[in-house]
Amino acid sequence: MVVARCLGWVLLVHQTLLVAVWDPSKLPPSPLDKSEFDYIVVGAGSAGSVVASRLSEDPNVTVLLLEAGEVDSQTEIHVPLAYVDLQLSPVDWAEQTVPQKHACGGLEGRRARWPRGKVLGGSSSINAMIYVRGNREDYDRWREMGAEGWSYREVLPYFKKSEDFRGRGDDEFHGTGGYLTVSQSTQFRTLAARSFVEGTKELGYEEVDNNGRSQLGVSFPQYTIKDGWRLSTARAFLHPVRGNRENLYVVTGKSVRSLSFAPGASPTVDGVRVVDTKDCANGEEKVVKARREVILTASTVGTTKILLLSGIGPKGHLEDVGIPVRADLPVGENLQDHIMVPVGYVAPRIPINETISLSEQHASESGRGTRVPGHWRRGRENRPRFRHHLLRRKSRPEAHEEHQRIAGGGTANVWRGSNG
């Protein structure tokens, strides 16, 4: 218990260091004081962090990355085992679906919770870190439908370029040396997980690399975890370059209300209308211009909302809510999400539910609460259940406030390359 408590303080010291990195007193004036950038990327999540990092590799262009949430300084974000505490927390938009006709029959009001990251790194900062690229047939179908460059053969080199793979798999489908570490834990596979995989193999299923040549079989998942810490796209693609990118500006706590358009007959996007997230409805609006492109990476929900509020969407719907139509397009239609069906097993002689402590894991190479869900999988989703001991838990938001206070409190709203 003493060791675990000490490790908890180590984690909080780690958060203190994170907050120190984003010390507002050491940061430049807000880049929103500038009126124009070459590229504006909206949403610093799973896609936006990557896009902004890659674009800013060219020192001759300026890149503004806007994020509605705050910086990723909350301790629970970085400790893999604490992912369960992030839903319905201040870093989650905590949205719900509308009532469903053909799904969610067992849920109150036939509505499902829709977790979505409201923080630097977006949903990659609050998800369960299981790394799955998707099925090759989906990519090939998109290409057949007209999405040039999106066949699996064409996108695979970019997956490999971004990846620093640490595990066993089909080598021709993985890369090393990239920003994004993908790992495969071997130390914390429970007896239940190992037994399940072996039993499935006895039934004739092959153990496969679920990001390799075939996804038909059984596998231990791969994770976006590096040295025991969550590796969000913010940690992978933004944090490492902030000390040497004068041309990359990241602003948090700012929402894009809508797009701005250049005068003329045809609707040409020339910038964005920005407002404080905390006062999105009534806050003062500032227009920021883009010389080259505005890139929307604000998630399926956020990007759709921005387009609709900008007059880009189904004409009938826009007219119903009083938004002038700039382009009649099927924005927001055909939204699909995956189905998750947790399956629980009662097996008194196999310790499926295990108590895990930080002291137990810190002694290992991975450490830091790295046990995560989905230790094994057959098909799409199977996961054992577990309990965990991390830090003394309180109800949100009191726990969040305590972590912020111990860590030094406060977060910065902007950072730039030269102020590392």
Judge whether 314 and 332 are in contact, CB under 8 Å.
yes
Which residues make Cβ contacts (< 8 Å) with residue 395, sequence separation at least 6?
none
Tokens of 314: 């189904």
- What pLDDT was estimated at residue 389? 31
- 251 marked as part of a ligand binding site: no
**Residues 357-373: pLDDT tens digits?**
444 444 444 444 555 55
- What pLDDT was estimated at residue 357? 44
- 256 marked as part of a ligand binding site: yes
- What pLDDT was estimated at residue 378? 42
- What pLDDT was estimated at residue 194? 87
Strand pairing class (225-226; 229-230): antiparallel
- What pLDDT was estimated at residue 64? 96
The rounded radius of gyration (Å) of the Cα atoms in the chain is 22
Instruction: State the pTM of this model.
Output: 0.78
Spatial separation of the C-alpha atoms in residues 412 and 19, rounded to whole Å? 8
Give the residue ranges of the chain where pLDDT is below 50.
Answer: 1-28, 352-368, 374-420
DSSP 301-324: HHHHHHHHHTTEE-HHHHHHTTPP
Judge whether 227 and 215 are in contact, CB under 8 Å.
no
Judge whether 174 and 165 are in contact, CB under 8 Å.
yes
- What pLDDT was estimated at residue 94? 93
Spatial separation of the C-alpha atoms in residues 131 and 305, rounded to whole Å? 27
- What pLDDT was estimated at residue 199? 93
- What pLDDT was estimated at residue 347? 65
Whether residue 397 is preceded by a cis peptide bond, meaning omega within 30 degrees of 0, is yes
What single DSSP character describes residue 125? G
Spatial separation of the C-alpha atoms in residues 374 and 395, rounded to whole Å? 26
DSSP 1-15: -HHHHHHHHHHHHHH
Spatial separation of the C-alpha atoms in residues 388 and 342, rounded to whole Å? 19
- What pLDDT was estimated at residue 265? 72
C-alpha distances out from residue 150 to 156, 195, 396, Å: 9, 38, 42
Name the nearest CA neighbour of 24 among 409, 413, 406. Answer: 413
- What pLDDT was estimated at residue 67? 96
Which residues make Cβ contacts (< 8 Å) with residue 379, sequence separation at least 6?
none
Judge whether 415 and 242 are in contact, CB under 8 Å.
yes
Beta strands in 253-390 (DSSP E): 254-262, 268-276, 286-296, 312-313, 327-328, 355-357, 377-378, 387-389
